[in-house]
A and B are shown apart, each in its own frame.
Chain A
């Protein structure tokens, strides 16, 4: 199928791209890997008149900032993140989350920034609106909502399916947004609004410059799981990510970050479950209680024919497993079992 006609520009630096975005306003689209944008342009979910390409800009290799944080350029391909020795050594969960995205061909093309800014998904939104679904939905600028016909408040109940964002939030990472005049830095969890119409706080004249991951606290461990039907080339039904740290005694939990993704308009942290775990011994009972508390406090939307009950049960089981894994890694030392496929 042939795409509609558009213009294409290829500035030489991030600042030039941001300046062009400021001039063009909302009619511009940012093209990096194109694995999310181009299929969405075919479905007319997004119809930018001009594509501003990042193809002429080379990604900086992963490196360490002066403050000890790992800095990954947003233009880094996902295949480079999963295979980078630097990333695998410093934060295996990050490499793991890049490893489970899409297929090899998608990871060779897709970039980190593109994955974090991907369009939200919905069974109805991600279809051509010219045959079964003639009227545009709220997200497409229309006046209806197919999954929720009684939705009259102009909200978009769709799901943000990045596999990497939950891992980055669990690691406590920051994101750097580059604008024409200034750049700003914020925690990745503040980058997501949890609103379907505007899933991120990215302005029309900004783009993601880099992601910074802090060094892990002592005695910490991680757990990550992406639930799918087939196990490959698939969007997630549930993503769970956790990073825990044990205290100096090695017996009580000193820090916990639990994130559930791909079940609502943005990744959500289970702060109640986290604070219940901190200070307690990570017994199987405490882990089970934390998993069910996390599922109870996060927002779940039914999506892609999965019911809320099914998604909640799936998230609870895998949260329990990844929390035990994380505490196991925290006890045996960092990086253990980090590269299992």
Chain B
């Protein structure tokens, strides 16, 4: 005898506007936004790190707010506009924030970088000249185990056209 298959929650159709493009996706309620964006929409720029809201690698913008895609149910984002790291560059031309990250060597292994870029994008959108303290506060949710943060901090200063960039000694 085959045991009856345990009934599962039904799939539902949600509409996500990702980087300006509308997607209709059938998902179960337990699907996390990060998995939908990576596996169903195919935008793998957003990284899945700790899956518990501790590292910030999965940061993307939901209606302009930096949020954690690993702690957000996709079904809760029905009808919302999502912006991922793929949307920052205009074709081959990088955004000023991405250019600053390259200039300052703020990328080493690169796993935290998409989340960092999205946090910085949200910061600069609401505050074009953030103070040192505001930069640190905006990036406190993004962990980086390679750079020691100073290069990233310098990159934000460069992207916002501010002084105070300290050379990093190797």
Contacts and interface: CB of A to CB of B under 8 A. Distances in A.
Nearest to A7: B9
Interface residues of B, number: 34
B68 A106 contact: yes
Interface stretch (A31-39, A287-295, A318-326): A31-39
A105 interface: yes
B44 interface: no
A51 interface: yes
Contact of B140 (A1, A6, A7, A232): A232
Interface in B74-129: 75-76, 119, 122
Interface residues of A, number: 28
Interface in A258-303: none
Given A31-B76, A103-B140, A104-B66, A5 B9 contact: yes
B141 A109 contact: no
Contact of A8 (B9, B51, B65, B119): B9
Contacts, number: 88
Nearest to B119: A104
A108 interface: yes
Contact of A31 (B28, B65, B73): B73
Contacts of A7: 9, 29
B140 A4 contact: no
Nearest to B141: A103
Given A31-B76, A108-B65, A109-B68, A102 B141 contact: yes
B137 A104 contact: yes
B154 interface: no
B67 interface: yes
A53 interface: yes
Contacts of A105: 53, 56, 59, 66-68, 119, 141
A104 B140 contact: yes
A2 interface: yes
A38 B30 CA distance: 10
A256 to B, nearest CB: 31
A42 B138 CA distance: 27
Contacts of A4: 30
Interface string A301-341: 00000000000000000000000000000000000000001
Contacts of B136: 232
B71 interface: yes
Contacts of A38: 53, 71-73
A3 interface: yes
6 nearest A-B pairs in the assembled complex, by CB-CB distance = A103-B141, A232-B140, A8-B29, A3-B30, A108-B65, A39-B52
